[in-house]
Structure 1
């Protein structure tokens, strides 16, 4: 019987997010390698909605896709969750990551084999897409995700009890400003960089070999990944009489909580994966978060019940100053 210990959580996550996806990808690569000699040099790699091919490429493209995406994404997911689990973190976020990793491996590996399988013995790249091919791959991938979820123990995240904020006395009319910077944790940078490298590795062959529409989509994905990385690396946090403001080092995105909306602020210990399922600007059952690392942060309770959590050093001073200003500022009128 599985007991919900940190060691078991780590072991089952490793099995689901790394070991099983690696086995699935390896089997898919072996099967594709066996089929490769029976295929034309150029095959259909993409189809229009009516099932006719609208993108072609070398037959080995599917093996490369399986390697880079089918194995690369689970490896990136495993890297994302490993450090947190080693610290003792847990929760549905990690469990979901493991399930997604296994599902992606089955999906990409299955698509690779199916794409080559329907073109066996052909001499051209004009194979029509069978109507049941996609459902026949998507359903096993969905089932694999469910299996991946069930393989991991159910260990819900319990939010850490808040600490006390500092006492920051502020007199009416006095202007006190608190400034701090926070950078994305090394684990987050590694994961986003791996995702970017995978996007570039996949996008280059598409741009060179596929139709213009697919090329633009691939370029768009790469640009989006670059923007996410650049805008998430560092934020500047400010608390002043206007409230709390968090701005990316490049000027966007910007998060602001007006002081009139602040009901209370407190210090909390934050687990990005356990509470929010990852790093960056996130939403979860715990509310909105700007979570760039594990550790202390300030959680702002708005008057309408919403919350904002920001991971930052010296959170006690930030929370204390927000509480001081909030006590001097009347809340919005409610009719």
Structure 2
């Protein structure tokens, strides 16, 4: 199992919700406005402005860093014979390996990300754990000895079929 790296399914997702990008870019725009107003035109940004150096540091961190961070954040799901791997970059340095022999059952599901798990990302709730980045579909894994795990997917039917095939092969 460990030496076999045949990939049956691979999916890489990014945050693509319009409302999320409006918020992220809106926050970043505040720091862009501050940089232009205070550093480039010599005005004062806000009632209690920080120094130009501090504003440049905040601009780099929030005005550039925050959008870049959300742009680069990815959820990669990979199915190989006998194993499913999930990596939510940058939070997982290495993929989380789920040996499929520990999976009792699995099902394709439609869920409410906010109502069921409190949103997107790496989420914990009374329903179990979820790795999701956009949408409201995925595959839920049911285990013998732990709470369920939901893997969000833009193509849940293909993910479901790959898990079925990987369990048979593994």
SS across alignment from 2:84: strand
SS across alignment from 1:313: coil
- Number of the residue aligned with 1:238: 78
Task: Give 1:239 shift.
Answer: 1.0
- Number of the residue aligned with 1:225: 66
Deviations 1:258-314 (A, max 9, x none): 224433321111322222333333333333323222232112234432333222133
- Between Structure 1 and Structure 2, the one with more helix by share is 1
Q: 1:243 to 1:218 in 2, by over 3 A?
A: same
Question: Alignment partner for residue 282 of structure 1, among 123, 144, 155?
Answer: 123
Superposed counterparts of 1:1-335, under 5 Å: 175=6, 177-187=8-18, 188-198=20-30, 200-201=32-33, 205=45, 209-210=49-50, 218=58, 222=62, 225-232=66-73, 234-241=74-81, 243-247=83-87, 252-254=90-92, 255-259=95-99, 260-326=101-167
Q: Take 1:216 and 1:302, find their aligned partners in 2: how far apart are those partners?
A: 49
- Number of the residue aligned with 2:42: none
Q: 1:291 to 1:261 in 2, by over 3 A?
A: same
Q: Take 2:113 and 2:143, find their aligned partners in 1: how far apart are those partners?
A: 21
Q: 1:191 to 1:324 in 2, by over 3 A?
A: same
Maintained 8 Å contact 1:231/1:253 = no
Task: Give 1:315 shift.
Answer: 1.4
> Which runs of 5 or more structure 2 residues have no equivalent in the other structure?
39-44
Q: Take 2:112 and 2:31, find their aligned partners in 1: how far apart are those partners?
A: 27
- Between Structure 1 and Structure 2, the one with more strand by share is 2
SS across alignment from 2:139: strand
- Number of the residue aligned with 1:6: none
Give the CA RMSD over aligned residues.
Answer: 3.9
> Which runs of 5 or more structure 1 residues have no equivalent in the other structure?
1-172, 330-335
Q: 1:228 to 1:310 in 2, by over 3 A?
A: farther
State the TM-score, normalizing by the size of structure 1: 0.36
Q: Take 2:56 and 2:145, find their aligned partners in 1: how far apart are those partners?
A: 42
Q: How many residues align?
A: 153
State the TM-score, normalizing by the size of structure 2: 0.62
SS across alignment from 1:274: helix
Maintained 8 Å contact 1:193/1:229 = no
Q: 1:240 to 1:285 in 2, by over 3 A?
A: same
